[in-house]
Amino acid sequence: MTDDLPRRIYPPEGDVYVSPRYLAGSNGIGDAGFAPVAHWPRHDFDDGPCQLLVSSPDGRIRIGWYGDDFELWKITACEDASGPTRWAANFNHVTPAELVAGLTTALAQDWVEGNDRFLESPSWHWRPKIQPLIDAGWTREPSRHGEIEFVAPDGNAGVSIDTLSQHPDEETVELWAGPPGWGTRAEARFTSSTPAHLIAATAAAFTDPAPVLRYREHLSPRLAALAHLTPVTPPKPPTPTPLDVQRTLRRPPMLTTRSVPRWNTSTPVPAAAAPTPARAVRR
């Protein structure tokens, strides 16, 4: 079913702020990723792996949500709505939607500007694709020939670039976060034809210092152990114990002081009282 009405985006919910954001995992809904393109036409499907498809008004950019698949997000672009895919990006089921928003925001901006920048030829230089990571202090790691690898300062996120493959459908850039495992490793992969500025926009979302909201009980324990969690509501002070109450009652009264006027050589001498006039004596 096609619906041209804007997609309703609900505000984020949770009881803890998670930082860094790439360790927050998916919250099971894609609102944060769809927010930049909420005004684009959407297509809801009752059958098939793709449950929701949001496309640009001209149909050349497609953002698919596959709610039951390992690859939760599939984003593609083509020169015309019926043409072959020019490039593709896939995000797995652990990737926070806030990271996907880095890419969808850039795509929305490109489409508004009308310069087809989202279809520009890819750069064969790897640095522009990950410049935000380098600027954020990610460091290069030893790697095999034909591969470039960088790792975040905390060691919990990284990027791998295949510099040898040039096949347009080959996934040559992978951003990852979290320890290996089905429910802990976030992965974002881009084919070799993806414009460099779109990969860089996604990389910048990894380095965004703003925390994201999650419910503590929904977080993977392994991710929660690695992330910094800040409660939305500060914890209440502990309830006083009976011993605390007794100590308060036994506390001696506080000493108070009063200032007392004191005489010194500079204190003015009070004036003498005038004598009472004598009464006239009656005769």
pLDDT digits (tens, 9 = 90+) for 130-185: 999 999 999 999 988 999 999 999 999 999 999 998 788 899 999 999 999 999 99
Q: Are 97 and 32 in contact (CB under 8 A)?
A: yes
Residue 104, classed as helix, strand or coil, is helix
Q: Are 164 and 154 in contact (CB under 8 A)?
A: no
Q: Quick one: which of 204, 138, 147 has its CA closest to 172?
A: 147
Q: Are 87 and 76 in contact (CB under 8 A)?
A: yes
Q: Are 112 and 105 in contact (CB under 8 A)?
A: no
Which is more confidently placed, 29 or 1?
Answer: 29
Question: Tell me, what's the pLDDT at 250?
Answer: 66
Give the C-alpha separation, 278 to 243, whole Å: 74
Question: Tell me, what's the pLDDT at 283?
Answer: 45
Question: Tell me, what's the pLDDT at 5?
Answer: 47
Give the C-alpha separation, 194 to 171, whole Å: 9
Model confidence at 15: pLDDT above 70: yes
Q: Are 24 and 98 in contact (CB under 8 A)?
A: yes
For residues 79-84, give the mean pLDDT: 92
Give the C-alpha separation, 75 to 37, whole Å: 12
For residue 55, list its beta bridge partners: 62
Helical pair 196-207 and 127-135, crossing angle rounded to 10 deg: 20
Exposed e or buried b per residue across 114-138, where buried means at least 16 C-beta atoms within 10 angstroms of its C-beta: eeeebbeebeeebeebbbbbeebeb
For residue 153 the two structure tokens come to: 């300062």
Q: How confident is residue 70, by pLDDT bands cut at 50, 70 and 90? A: confident
Residue type, 185: R
Exposed e or buried b per residue across 213-222, where buried means at least 16 C-beta atoms within 10 angstroms of its C-beta: bbeeeebbeb
Mean pLDDT, rounded, of the chain: 87
Q: How confident is residue 21, by pLDDT bands cut at 50, 70 and 90? A: very high
Beta strand segments in 11-84, E: 16-19, 42-44, 52-55, 61-65, 71-78
Q: Is the peptide bond before 20 cis (omega within 30 degrees of 0)?
A: yes
Q: How confident is residue 272, by pLDDT bands cut at 50, 70 and 90? A: low
